[in-house]
Amino acid sequence: MGIAIPQKHSNSAKNRVFKMATSLFPETGETAHKQAKEEHSIVDDFMYGSNVATSHVYVRMGFLRKVYGILTTQLVLTTIVGALFMTVDPIKGFVRENNWLMGIAAFGSLGLIFALMWKRHETPTNFYLLAAFTVVEAYTVGVIVTFYDVQVVIEAFALTTGVTVALTIYTLQSKRDFSSIGAGLFACLWILILSGFLQFFFMSPFLDRAIAFGGALVFSLFIIFDTHMLMHKLSPEEYILASINLYLDIINLFLYILRILGEARK
């Protein structure tokens, strides 16, 4: 068994060392003390689960690079898969004829989401699960876009990109607290889900349009909400959760805009 040194005495010894270094080499001692404080601050940001906005600038920038790097990779992969499914006729024919694969993809996506929430802090398991989840979602989006004209898909892609970029910039520079809209958004999400079940039975054109416009609005607001949350509520180690939230927001926004434009062309 080792001898425990009281924290007070340990800190006192550290302070004496810093004072001696400062007296002998003023600039060097001051610089070392400053660097030590910065390193201690960075460690604290991870140890105590502080949010990103109050973390050290290095931690904050590293977190944002991770989140938007992962998000960009997910969106690029999804775009490539969608483009292949639309333009390569054998692939388009295969996915249309085998609709049962969509059911497997839906259940697989749910299972991977739960696994990601459970293992999101375990590297590299979290990245393997994230890659699998992205592939499944990309497949789902790829199948859906095969039922629309290429022009409509391109327009939906452009609109989604513009809306996402604009809302992200607005949220990041805004001083407003958007966390208060969370409860309302989740209530609206449940309304959308229940409306989708009703639409499955009644097949109402009016309800279909209402769901499409309502979904586009809700997920536009979710982009604002989740962007605000990743900066002001999440801790720096939650980059997997942040990227999944934004990815799902953008994908759902795209699908609802695609639905609106598709209905408008009929």
Per residue in 86-123, pLDDT tens? 999 999 999 998 989 999 999 999 999 999 989 888 88
CA nearest to 133, candidates 147, 120, 146: 120
Query: Count of domains in the chain?
Result: 1
Q: Two tokens at 230?
A: 């990743």
pLDDT at 259 over 90: yes
Per-residue confidence band for 184, with pLDDT thresholds at 50, 70 and 90? very high
Position 18 in a domain: no
Q: What is the pLDDT of residues 189-214, one digit of tens each?
A: 999 999 999 988 888 889 999 999 99
| Lookup result for tokens 């801790």 | 235
Hey, CA dihedral for 217, 71, 44, 4, is it positive or negative?
A: positive
pTM above 0.75, yes or no: yes
Rounded to whole angstroms, how far apart are CA atoms 33 and 107? 54
| Lookup result for tokens 């349009």 | 209
pLDDT of 231 reads 84
Q: What is the pLDDT of residues 120-177, one digit of tens each?
A: 888 899 999 999 999 999 999 999 999 999 999 999 999 999 999 999 999 989 888 8
Cis check for the bond before 90: say yes or no (omega within 30 of 0). Answer: no
pLDDT at 244 over 80: yes
Angle at 92 between CA 87 and CA 95, to 5 degrees: 150
Rounded to whole angstroms, how far apart are CA atoms 225 and 171? 8
Domain span at residue 71?
Answer: 52-264
Q: Two tokens at 116?
A: 């990601």
Position 47 in a domain: no
Position 143 in a domain: yes
pLDDT of 44 reads 45
Position 31 in a domain: no
Q: What is the pLDDT of residues 26-78, one digit of tens each?
A: 444 444 444 444 444 444 444 445 666 666 778 778 888 999 999 999 999 99
User: Are 167 and 227 contacting, i.e. CB atoms less than 8 angstroms apart?
Assistant: yes
pLDDT of 31 reads 46
Rounded to whole angstroms, how far apart are CA atoms 80 and 74? 10
Q: What is the pLDDT of residues 226-239, one digit of tens each?
A: 999 988 888 888 88
Rounded to whole angstroms, how far apart are CA atoms 262 and 73? 27
Per-residue confidence band for 7, with pLDDT thresholds at 50, 70 and 90? very low
Average pLDDT over residues 247-266: 94
Per-residue confidence band for 4, with pLDDT thresholds at 50, 70 and 90? very low
CA nearest to 171, candidates 244, 230, 238, 256: 230
CA nearest to 163, candidates 228, 227, 220, 212: 220
User: Are 77 and 250 contacting, i.e. CB atoms less than 8 angstroms apart?
Assistant: no
pLDDT of 83 reads 96
Rounded to whole angstroms, how far apart are CA atoms 249 and 217? 11
| CA-to-CA dists, residue 88 to 48, 76, 80, 83, 255, angstroms | 50, 18, 12, 8, 21
